[in-house]
Structure formats: structure tokens, C-alpha cells
Amino acid sequence: MKTLERLVAEKLLKIKAVKLQPANPFTWASGWKSPIYNDNRKTLSYPEVRSFIKLELARMVSEKYENVDAIAGVATGAIAQGALVADLLGLPFVYIRSTPKDHGLENLIEGELKPGSKVVIIEDLVSTGGSSLKAVQAVRNFGCDVIGMVAIFTYGFPVAQQAFKEAKVTLNTLSNYDAVLEEAVRTDYIDESEIAVLQEWRKDPGAWDPDK
């Protein structure tokens, strides 16, 4: 029986929410060259995949964390995912902006969140962990307890693993980079000879040079 990680990886590859191009790398907004591109917002356009992701995220929240008071989604990619999960679990939902609104109440957290609440944060994608942990800090600054984060996908960068450890945040994900590579080889999406390049990139993505 296929693991959840591999099952989610298969679905992400099928709808092209994850694309692998070792020979023709993408350029991320950060300027990094990357053999992989991930856009989990695409899952929202496929009802079957959307429902599957929603159910598995909600199940993970229920199984991993007790006495959850609220669900928070990280803007913008995880707002819809977080709302779907909160609805399924019958919990209050808020979302966390990357920067405060520049008018009105200048909120960083949108919605009604009671101080002292136990919050699980939903994220669509974890790369370096910077924006994800910024959201964690926003909730903590509000006087709430972040009891964990659940995400659809992580690249598994060492820098992110260290950052989550230092921030004392547990991260659980439906799928990850290794599962995508395994599934991509199984389905002949990539050749086994390309695996070395893909693994080399993850060790130090900021310094990776595809022309070397």
C-alpha cells in the first residue's frame, strides 16, 4: 500500500502542482535557481484533490494535536486550505498576513482570535521556513500558544529543519521532496540519472549552480 507521502506526491505531480526540470531550472522570486517548482494553490482547482488534501490535513491536525482552539492559515497560499480544514473540524479560523494592513486597524491577524488560544497553523509550502515562522511569531505575539504547524509540502531544507527546531515548533507535512523524487522516478517523470542533481540542489539551494 502506498504511503500518504507518496500518494500526495503522485497527486501533486499529476496536476502539475509540482514540476521538476533538472535540465531547465526555474528561477524563484528569491533569485535561487531551482530544478523544482511547487504551487499548491493548483490543488484548489481540482475538487477530488482539494477534498483529499482537506481531509488529510484535518486528520493530521486531529491525530497530532489535542485541544485545538483555532486554525490559522498563512497568507496567501494557505488561506483557502486553512479555512477548509477549520470548517471540517468545526473550529474558528483566522489568517495571518505577511505584513500588517496599511489602513484601518493595521491587522496582522485577520479574524477573531482569543488570546490564550491553542492554535494550529496551516501552511501550503515550507521552503526555508522564514515566512512560516514569521506567522508563528505573529500568533505568539498575540498571546496565543502555537501547538504546531501542518503543511502540504516541505522541501526538507536543513536550514528550515534547524529554524523550526530553534523556534520550538513541530512541523507535520502530508508530503515532501523525497517522496516526490521517488514518485517521479517510478512514473518515469524523471530519469534516475537526474536524481543526483536534484539531491545536490537541496543540500545548498542558495549556492546551487546548474551550469557546473
- The answer to whether the CB of 163 falls within 8 A of the CB of 1 is no
22: nearest Cα among 175, 207, 200, 204: 200
Q: Helix, strand or coil for residue 99?
A: coil
What is the pTM assigned to this prediction?
0.92
Give the count of beta carbons closer than 10 Å to the beta carbon of residue 18. 25
> What's the confidence (pLDDT) of residue 100?
64
Tell me which amino acid residue 173 is: T
pLDDT tens, residue by residue, 10-46: 999 999 999 999 888 998 877 888 999 999 999 999 9
- d(Cα 143, Cα 118) in Å, to the nearest integer? 10
Q: What average pLDDT is seen over the chain?
A: 91
Quote the cell numbers at residue 192.
534516475
> What's the confidence (pLDDT) of residue 103?
52
36-38 and 18-20 strand pairing: antiparallel
Percent of the chain whose pLDDT exceeds 70: 96
Q: CA-based angle 49:94:8, to the nearest 5? A: 20
pLDDT tens, residue by residue, 140-196: 999 999 999 999 999 999 889 999 999 999 999 999 999 999 999 999 998 888 888
- The answer to whether the CB of 97 falls within 8 A of the CB of 109 is yes
What Rg value do the Cα atoms of the chain yield, rounded?
17
Q: Which residue has the higher pLDDT, 66 or 209?
A: 66
Q: Which residue has the higher pLDDT, 159 or 104?
A: 159
